[in-house]
Each structure stands twice: as structure tokens, then as C-alpha cells.
Amino acid sequence: MKKHVTLLLALVLFIVTILSSATAEIVLDCLHWKNEGAEGFEALAEAFNELYPDVTVEFTASGDNYKQLLMGRLSANDVPALVAVPSGKYGFDVPKGGYMLDLSDWAGLENLKPELVEAQRYNGKVYSIPVDCAAHGVVYNREIFNKYGLNVPTTWDEFKNVCQTLKDNGITPLIITGKDPWTLGIMGVTLAAPIYGKNANFDMDVIEGKASFNGPEWKKVFEDYEVLRQYANEDVASLSYSLGNQMIANGEAAMTIQGNWVVSAIREFNPEVELGIFAIPSAENQADNTLIWGPDFTIGISSTTKNPEECYAFLDFLTSLEGSKIWTDNIMTFSAVKGSDMTFDQTAKDINAILESGIKTYPLVNHEWFMENVWLDWGASIQEYNNGTITAEDCLEYLEKTIKAAYEIYIK
């Protein structure tokens, strides 16, 4: 009898094991860099889980260390099921290493704006799909501008006058968050936009020895930066991205030079704050003002995932109108999905108006800056410049050396 009971228990345990393995939850992990809009990623995961109760998507934001952490996981053969990669050349080393599935024949590409898909092609193939678009400009507190009767500036002199008016009224005109080097890199690229509006191949000219970052074009960028430092917070070297965003949300500061992803980060401190965005008027002639614009967050599928069908199902959801609405409502950047809402926020309306004005644009993904960690490394060199340990010429020499080294890795 005892033997029969033992056999029965063993049989029950076996059946339970089989059933539990058959209904085991599938977890799709995704490492990414977006600290902004955490609620949006959670909302995406929850909505997808409602459609696929046995599948959970786990997003992990790593911030500035993203690329380092991702490459570490790749080298350890621990590839996330869903691979988030920065747009353009900065992310091309991941498919180059064979870590991502070729999505060129995936039917869902038809749901995406073709020009954004084309921008992500690597050697003629699509390994990651664009999720959104970003624009670099000046994000500002509209309530402050309205209070002091300020109009959006369209020339450099007008911009300086706006800054002076704010300063005279005890408002910090502009925040520079020098504690986080990536923000300095973004600021530098944005100030330099007119260079690329005139010559889209400027970076390649530098790489090929036809131009130099230590020439008059980029030296003017540093001159403009010095002008803006006069109107910035006193603690440029120590102010963090998060605290700077809080200052704008609370009305202590008026402007930040950033990508429009910063909108959701600012609203984490004050959901009701009214924000706007304008193209930085850093050109000598208004007609040369340029907006940097293009795909930002892109995502693909690991070539070694055990759950490719579930990964494809998530991409299908992400590129649906439902998924795109969750993204725009929370992340506050334009969706790459055809037919998605382009007027979801005042900042979105502002960008539409800027684009419709006929302003010069420069594709974000074309920047050689976004190879490897060029912009992060250069941001770190601006930190040294802010601290007075190196000169502007040293920064520009370092930038040229770094971008040429990155080219050897990514393009050659």
C-alpha cells in the first residue's frame, strides 16, 4: 500500500511539473537607456500582457551606462530578447556582430513611416525598427514666457534679449546640467546645427581631412556656449539633468537645450507645467537656423532568443495605433507609426509648425557623432572645460581625434 501511495504521489508531481512547464510565463527582457517616461514603458508592458497573459515584458532603464552594459551582456552571450539600440550609426555595431534578427521581411514594417525605416538600414537590411522621432531644440516654460511677454526668438540677438529679460526679473534663463556629460554633448550638437544645415557632410569632411573641428565653424559654437553660460545657473559643473528639469517644472528656470524627450522628464515633477519648444536660433542669419530631427529609440529582436514569436508579437503591438498612442501619451515624442497622433502635446504642435515653416533640417542619424560614445566622451571633455582644466581648442582637438577613431570601428 505504501508503495502504491508513493507511486501515486510521484505521478501527481510529474503531472504538476508538466502542466506548470506548459503554462510557464515567458519573460521578454529589454535593456534600454530611456530614464524618461518610465510609466510609459510600464503601460506598454501591461497592455501587451492583457493581450498575451502568458508573456511579460520587463524593461530595465540603465541611463548613461546603457551601451557599456549592453556590450557586456553581448560579450557574455546574455543577449536581451528585445534589443534596444540607439538610432543610426551609434547602434550599428550590434547587428554587425550578428546579435540581431534580420527584420527586412517582417510585415510590420508596412506600419512604419518608410523614411524612418530607411534611416535604420545597415548594409541594406533592417535589424531594428524606429519607435519614435526626436527633435533637438530649446524646450521652455510657456508660463514664464507669457508672464514676461516674451516671444519665441528667431535670431541670436533676440535669444540673448530673452535671456537678459529673464535674468533681470530674477529667473534663471537657461539651465546647463554639467554634472551629466551626455547633456553637454546634446547641447553642443544642437548649437552646431547650422553647420550641418549648410554642409551635411561636415563630419565626413573632418574625417577625410577636408575640414577641422578646430576651424571657425566649431570655434563659433564655443563662443556661443560662453555667451549662454552668462545666462545659465551658477552651478553649471554640478547641476544634474534631473535637478535642472525640476527647476523648469517649478518655474525657477525658463529654458533647456535638449531633445524633446525631456518633456516627459520635466512633467514628472509637475504634470501641469505648460511647455513649448523652438529651434535654437544660433545661426548668424535666420535663414540658416537648422533643426536636428530624426529617429531616436529603435528596437529589434535577439538572434538567439528562445521566444521569437512572442518578440514579433510585441513588435506588432508596439507598431500598432494602440501601442503608438501609449508611447506618445507617456514618452512625449513622435511615434514612427503611420497615422499616429502628431498633435498630442503643445511641444508636438510646435515641432510640426517648425517643420512646416520650411526650416532647414538635419537627420539625427546622419551625425557621425552618434558612433560609439563620441558625444558622451566629448561631453566629458566639456566638463573639463567648464572646470577650467582644458581649453576650447583642447576640446575640439579631442572631438576630432575621437570621431576619427570611432569611424574606424563603425564604418571602415
CA 21, 22, 23 angle in degrees (round to 5)? 90
When mean pLDDT is compared across 17-31, 202-216, 294-308, 354-368, the lowest value belongs to 17-31
Amino acid 194: pLDDT:
94
Which residue ranges form the domains of the chain, and what is each CATH number? Answer: 2-131+296-339 (3.40.190.10), 134-294+348-410 (3.40.190.10)
Q: From the centroid of its chain, how far is CA 351?
A: 16
**Residue 93 DSSP SS3:** helix
- Is 383 within 8 Å of 236 (Cβ atoms)? no
Q: Are strands 290-295 and 360-363 parallel, antiparallel or unpaired?
A: parallel
Q: Is the pLDDT of residue 4 over 60?
A: no
- Output the pLDDT for position 22: 47
Lowest model confidence (mean pLDDT) among 113-122, 155-164, 234-243, 257-266: 113-122
Q: How far apart are CA 259 and CA 246, in angstroms?
A: 16
- 354-405: per-residue pLDDT in tens? 988 989 988 776 666 666 568 778 889 999 999 999 999 999 999 999 888 8
More confident: 355 or 234:
234
> What is the predicted pLDDT for the residue at 388?
94
The whole-angstrom separation of Cα 222 and Cα 364 is 21
pLDDT tens readout for residues 123-178:
899 999 999 988 999 999 999 999 999 999 999 999 999 999 999 999 999 999 99
Three-state SS annotation for 147-180: HCCCCCCCCHHHHHHHHHHHHHCCCEEEECCCCC
Residue 367's pLDDT is what?
64
